[in-house]
Amino acid sequence: MEVAVGAFMAAALVALFFLAMQVSNLSAAMPADGYRLYARFANIGSLKPRAPVTMAGVRVGRVESVAFDKDTYEAVVTMRIDGAVDTIPEDTFASVFTAGLLGEQYIGLDPGGSMEFLGDGDTIAQTQSALVLEQMIGQFLFSKAQEGAE
């Protein structure tokens, strides 16, 4: 009986470990054959390395690194895009979105209509920063206070 309980506990710990790896995005490897794209954002929220990069809801890459540019005071996001996705238009729009109940942040790419494509080392010029919930609530309360004062 004690051996069965011990085996059950070991299996539960292994299952919990794999679940934690899935939730934290540590189980998926970075694409090795891909290329790098850069994007600059005024605010990335809680975007972390290894976050997904999606296009049309399909993961096409991962965030490789996040850095701060002390000259422009912007966040510079380096993305590793899968090599098979090599026709991303140069006027693509990058946005920071929130997914799931845990608030995981990811990059969403909306393709433009250009016939020229982004290549290794190119920068996505058009970006939209993350929406910060606290700022939105503050703006809503401020506008309601203004309405009440009038």
For residues 22 and 61, state if they share a domain: no
**Model pLDDT, residue 128:** 87
Instruction: List, for residues 75-85, the tens digit of each pLDDT value.
Output: 999 999 998 89
For residues 78 and 55, state if they share a domain: yes
pLDDT at 118 over 90: yes
For residues 68 and 140, state if they share a domain: yes
pTM: 0.71
For residues 20 and 44, state if they share a domain: no
Number of domains in the chain: 2
Residue by residue, DSSP assigns 35-96 as EEEEEEES--TT--TT-EEEETTEEEEEEEEEEEETTTTEEEEEEEE-TT----BTT-EEEE
For residues 85 and 114, state if they share a domain: yes
Instruction: List, for residues 13-41, the tens digit of each pLDDT value.
Output: 999 988 877 766 555 555 567 899 999 99
For residues 72 and 134, state if they share a domain: yes
For residues 72 and 140, state if they share a domain: yes
Reported for 120-123, long-range contacts at CB under 8 A and 24+ positions apart, including other chains, are 120/35, 120/36, 121/35, 121/36, 121/38, 122/37, 122/38, 122/90, 123/37, 123/38, 123/39, 123/40
pLDDT at 54 over 90: yes
Q: Which two tokens stand for residue 47?
A: 């975007």
CB within 8 Å of 119: residues ≥ 6 apart: 35
For residues 8 and 44, state if they share a domain: no
For residues 21 and 89, state if they share a domain: no
Mean pLDDT, the chain, whole residue set = 86
Residue 131, number of CB atoms within 10 A of its CB: 13
For residues 86 and 108, state if they share a domain: yes
Helices (H) and strands (E) in the chain, counts: 2, 8
For residues 14 and 39, state if they share a domain: no
For residues 64 and 137, state if they share a domain: yes
- The DSSP bridge pattern shows strands 52-55 and 104-110 to be parallel
Q: Domain range holding 18?
A: 1-30
Where residue 11 falls among pLDDT bands split at 50, 70, 90? very high
Q: Which two tokens stand for residue 120?
A: 């290794």
